[in-house]
Amino acid sequence: MAKVLIVEDEKPLSTAYKTILEKHGFEALVATNGEEALEVIETTKPDLILLDMMMPKMNGLEFLRRLQGKFPADKVIVFSNQDSQEDIDEAFKLGANRYLLKSWAAPQDLVKVVQDTI
Protein backbone atom coordinates (compact mmCIF):
# COMPACT_ATOMS: atom_id res chain seq x y z
CA MET A 1 0.00 0.00 0.00
CA ALA A 2 1.49 3.34 -1.06
CA LYS A 3 1.89 6.02 1.62
CA VAL A 4 0.86 9.60 0.88
CA LEU A 5 1.88 12.42 3.21
CA ILE A 6 -0.70 15.21 3.19
CA VAL A 7 0.88 18.51 4.30
CA GLU A 8 -2.14 20.70 5.03
CA ASP A 9 -2.85 23.04 7.94
CA GLU A 10 -6.63 23.19 7.52
CA LYS A 11 -8.04 20.19 9.41
CA PRO A 12 -11.29 19.83 7.41
CA LEU A 13 -9.29 19.69 4.18
CA SER A 14 -6.66 17.26 5.45
CA THR A 15 -9.41 15.02 6.83
CA ALA A 16 -11.25 15.09 3.48
CA TYR A 17 -8.08 14.30 1.49
CA LYS A 18 -7.15 11.53 3.92
CA THR A 19 -10.62 9.98 3.62
CA ILE A 20 -10.60 10.18 -0.19
CA LEU A 21 -7.14 8.65 -0.52
CA GLU A 22 -7.81 5.87 2.00
CA LYS A 23 -11.04 5.03 0.19
CA HIS A 24 -8.89 4.43 -2.91
CA GLY A 25 -6.43 2.15 -1.16
CA PHE A 26 -3.68 4.54 -0.06
CA GLU A 27 -2.26 4.91 3.42
CA ALA A 28 -2.60 8.62 4.21
CA LEU A 29 -0.52 10.47 6.79
CA VAL A 30 -1.10 14.09 7.80
CA ALA A 31 1.29 16.87 8.82
CA THR A 32 -0.07 20.32 9.67
CA ASN A 33 2.99 22.32 8.61
CA GLY A 34 6.33 21.98 6.84
CA GLU A 35 8.37 21.42 9.99
CA GLU A 36 6.15 18.54 11.06
CA ALA A 37 6.25 17.13 7.53
CA LEU A 38 10.05 17.02 7.52
CA GLU A 39 9.92 15.00 10.74
CA VAL A 40 7.32 12.61 9.30
CA ILE A 41 9.44 12.05 6.20
CA GLU A 42 12.40 11.01 8.34
CA THR A 43 10.39 8.40 10.26
CA THR A 44 7.83 7.05 7.82
CA LYS A 45 9.32 7.37 4.31
CA PRO A 46 6.14 8.23 2.34
CA ASP A 47 5.89 7.41 -1.36
CA LEU A 48 4.37 10.76 -2.27
CA ILE A 49 3.82 14.19 -0.73
CA LEU A 50 0.68 16.26 -1.29
CA LEU A 51 1.74 19.80 -0.34
CA ASP A 52 -0.19 22.95 0.48
CA MET A 53 1.68 26.22 -0.09
CA MET A 54 0.18 28.49 2.56
CA MET A 55 0.94 27.09 6.01
CA PRO A 56 2.13 28.36 9.38
CA LYS A 57 5.75 27.94 10.53
CA MET A 58 7.05 27.05 7.06
CA ASN A 59 5.34 27.71 3.73
CA GLY A 60 5.41 25.28 0.83
CA LEU A 61 8.32 26.93 -0.99
CA GLU A 62 10.54 26.85 2.09
CA PHE A 63 9.51 23.23 2.65
CA LEU A 64 10.55 22.38 -0.92
CA ARG A 65 13.92 24.10 -0.37
CA ARG A 66 14.57 22.08 2.79
CA LEU A 67 13.31 18.89 1.17
CA GLN A 68 15.95 18.90 -1.57
CA GLY A 69 18.16 15.85 -1.29
CA LYS A 70 15.93 14.21 1.33
CA PHE A 71 13.08 13.01 -0.89
CA PRO A 72 12.60 12.31 -4.62
CA ALA A 73 11.53 15.64 -6.09
CA ASP A 74 9.33 13.98 -8.68
CA LYS A 75 7.12 12.62 -5.90
CA VAL A 76 5.78 16.00 -4.72
CA ILE A 77 2.41 17.33 -5.82
CA VAL A 78 1.54 20.87 -4.80
CA PHE A 79 -2.18 21.12 -4.08
CA SER A 80 -2.95 24.69 -3.15
CA ASN A 81 -5.09 27.75 -3.76
CA GLN A 82 -1.94 29.86 -4.13
CA ASP A 83 -2.15 30.71 -7.83
CA SER A 84 0.65 33.25 -8.24
CA GLN A 85 2.57 32.34 -11.40
CA GLU A 86 5.79 33.31 -9.63
CA ASP A 87 5.10 30.79 -6.83
CA ILE A 88 4.07 28.11 -9.31
CA ASP A 89 7.27 28.61 -11.32
CA GLU A 90 9.37 28.55 -8.14
CA ALA A 91 7.69 25.34 -6.94
CA PHE A 92 8.60 23.64 -10.22
CA LYS A 93 12.18 24.94 -10.00
CA LEU A 94 12.39 23.43 -6.52
CA GLY A 95 11.28 20.05 -7.83
CA ALA A 96 7.50 19.83 -7.56
CA ASN A 97 6.10 17.31 -10.03
CA ARG A 98 2.61 18.80 -10.40
CA TYR A 99 0.82 21.93 -9.24
CA LEU A 100 -2.94 21.65 -8.83
CA LEU A 101 -5.29 24.38 -7.71
CA LYS A 102 -7.67 23.11 -5.04
CA SER A 103 -10.51 25.22 -6.39
CA TRP A 104 -10.25 23.55 -9.81
CA ALA A 105 -9.64 19.93 -8.84
CA ALA A 106 -12.43 17.51 -8.00
CA PRO A 107 -11.69 14.60 -5.61
CA GLN A 108 -11.44 12.13 -8.48
CA ASP A 109 -8.86 14.43 -10.14
CA LEU A 110 -6.74 14.34 -7.00
CA VAL A 111 -6.90 10.54 -6.82
CA LYS A 112 -6.01 10.22 -10.52
CA VAL A 113 -2.97 12.50 -10.17
CA VAL A 114 -1.80 10.61 -7.07
CA GLN A 115 -2.24 7.26 -8.85
CA ASP A 116 -0.34 8.53 -11.91
CA THR A 117 2.52 9.91 -9.81
CA ILE A 118 3.09 6.89 -7.60
Name the pTM for this structure: 0.88
* Rounded Cα gap, residues 32 and 117, in angstroms: 22
Alpha helices of 1-118 — where are they, by DSSP H? 11-23, 34-44, 60-67, 85-93, 107-117
Per-residue pLDDT of the chain (118 residues; tens, 9 = 90+): 899 999 999 898 889 899 999 999 999 999 999 899 999 998 988 999 999 988 888 888 899 998 887 777 678 988 888 778 998 898 899 888 888 787 776 667 777 778 788 8
Q: Is the Cβ–Cβ distance between 75 and 48 less than 8 Å?
A: yes
All domains in the chain, ordered by first residue: 26-107 (3.40.50.2300)
In which element (H, E) is residue 101 found? strand 98-101
